[in-house]
Amino acid sequence: MMDRALLHITSFIVLRAIVSHHNKILNAIICDAESCYATGGNKAEEW
């Protein structure tokens, strides 16, 4: 049981590391879409 939980936590941490690394690469591409999304979301929240 403990080994299984440890495995899940470890794989989660590794996955997060991979995702964050890819996000740095993809941010340059998705940056415009994300800022549009963020602006739209903020405007929607304000209204």
What CA–CA distance (Å, rounded) separates 27 from 7? 29
The model's pTM is 0.41
pLDDT of amino acid 47: 44
Measured CA to CA in angstroms, residue 25 lies from 5, 8, 31 at distances of 31, 26, 10
In this prediction, residue 36 carries a pLDDT of 53
DSSP assignment string, 1-47: -HHHHHHHHHHHHHHHHHHHHHHHHHHHHHHHHHHHHHHHHHHHHH-
The pLDDT assigned to 34 comes to 55
- Note the pLDDT of residue 1: 65
Tens-place pLDDT, residues 1-47 = 678 888 888 998 888 888 877 777 666 665 555 565 555 544 444 44
